[in-house]
């Protein structure tokens, strides 16, 4: 990356600067060109600023895919902290070489690749300060060959593993209001209010919701992988805690 482009990126991100994750860290820490491009639509500085991340914490990136968020959280928890980058075998099929490339040569020493099936996450009770669950909640209601994930099993394990006061970040594609989880199968979307109701019933407490990833141009009718909307969907951002 040329310095001029780097400087431009820094200025672009500065408007949503997190007090913990600086624009310089976002751009200059050896992150890939693909990650920097994604920053423009995922707005990680603004999103992660919603969380009480501190050095030394242990955080689970649930169904973390290629580790985009794991790399960012790793900077916040620092060398004394740890990030568990989780995927199951079904998710790994879509990740490809991006995950091993991100972790190659130990470039993220405080990120642990954590391949586990969702019914046996193997998490120690009261061991996690936080959990990130980005673009995956709707998949509790998506059915396909080789994919079967129990919402209750996953949520119970997460709740047990979180310390009291631990945080849970949910980001997902918004469905039409009132549609519940009916759009999860075909459109990969879910209604925010459905997620709030389910997590509240599971014993989590809603602490904050943000429109940082809201896009009013998305009418919620297209499948999220449609080229017309991919990467630009209307997304809701919720922060819960364990009592």
**Distant-in-sequence contacts of 10-15, Cβ < 8 A, 24+ apart:** 12/40, 13/39, 13/45
> Which domain covers residue 46, as residue numbers?
32-241
**Look-up: residue for tokens 């593993």?**
161
Domain assignment present for 61? yes
Distances in whole angstroms, Cα of residue 54 to Cα of each of 60, 68, 213, 216, 238: 14, 19, 23, 33, 19
Domain assignment present for 21? no
Separation between Cα atoms, residue 23 and residue 98, nearest integer Å: 23
Encoded tokens for 183:
């759009």
Query: Using an 8 Å Cβ cutoff, are 168 and 183 in contact?
Result: no
Domain assignment present for 225? yes
Backbone angles phi, psi at 197, to 5 degrees: -65, -40
Q: How many structural domains are present in the chain?
A: 1
**Other beta carbons less than 10 A from residue 92's beta carbon:** 13
Written as tens digits, the pLDDT of the chain (243 aa) is: 332 334 333 333 333 333 355 555 565 567 899 999 999 999 999 999 999 999 999 999 999 999 999 999 999 999 999 999 999 998 898 898 999 999 999 999 999 999 999 999 999 999 999 999 999 999 999 888 777 789 999 999 999 999 999 999 999 999 999 999 999 999 999 999 999 999 999 999 999 999 999 999 999 999 999 999 999 999 999 999 999
Domain assignment present for 11? no
Q: What is the pLDDT of residue 147?
A: 79
Q: Which run of H or of E encompasses 155?
A: helix 151-161
Q: What is the pLDDT of residue 12?
A: 35
Separation between Cα atoms, residue 71 and residue 62, nearest integer Å: 13
Domain assignment present for 19? no
43's CB contacts (< 8 A; 6+ apart) are: 16, 212, 213
Q: What is the CATH number of the domain that holds 73?
A: 3.40.50.150
Domain assignment present for 88? yes
**Distant-in-sequence contacts of 101-108, Cβ < 8 A, 24+ apart:** 102/32, 102/66, 102/67, 102/70, 102/71, 103/67, 107/30, 108/67, 108/70, 108/71, 108/74, 108/83
Q: What is the pLDDT of residue 170?
A: 98
Domain assignment present for 9? no
Burial class (CB in 10 A: 0-12, 13-18, 19+), 199: buried
**Look-up: residue for tokens 């998490």?**
123
Query: Using an 8 Å Cβ cutoff, are 88 and 115 in contact?
Result: yes
Domain assignment present for 20? no
Q: What is the pLDDT of residue 154?
A: 96
């Amino acid at each position: 990356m040329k310095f001029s482009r780097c400087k431009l990126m820094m200025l672009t991100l500065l408007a949503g600067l997190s007090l913990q994750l600086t624009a310089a860290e976002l751009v200059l820490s050896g992150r890939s060109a693909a990650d920097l491009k994604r920053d423009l639509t995922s707005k990680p500085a603004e999103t992660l600023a919603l969380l009480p991340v501190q050095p030394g914490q242990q955080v689970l990136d649930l169904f973390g895919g290629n580790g985009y968020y794991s790399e960012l959280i790793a900077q916040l928890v620092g060398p004394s902290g740890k990030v568990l980058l989780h995927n199951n075998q079904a998710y790994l099929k879509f990740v490809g070489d991006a995950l091993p490339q991100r972790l190659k040569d130990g470039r993220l020493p405080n990120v642990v690749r954590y391949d586990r099936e969702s019914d046996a996450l193997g998490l120690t009770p009261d061991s996690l300060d936080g959990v990130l669950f980005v673009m995956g909640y709707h998949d509790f209601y998506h059915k396909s060959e080789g994919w079967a994930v129990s919402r209750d099993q996953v949520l119970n394990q997460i709740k047990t593993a979180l310390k009291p006061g631990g945080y849970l970040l949910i980001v997902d594609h918004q469905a039409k209001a009132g549609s519940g989880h009916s759009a999860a199968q075909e459109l990969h979307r879910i209604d925010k209010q459905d997620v709030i109701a389910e997590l509240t019933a599971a014993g989590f407490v809603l602490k904050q919701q943000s429109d940082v990833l809201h896009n009013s141009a998305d009418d919620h009718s297209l499948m999220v992988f449609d080229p017309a909307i991919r990467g630009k969907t209307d997304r809701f951002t919720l922060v819960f805690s364990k009592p």
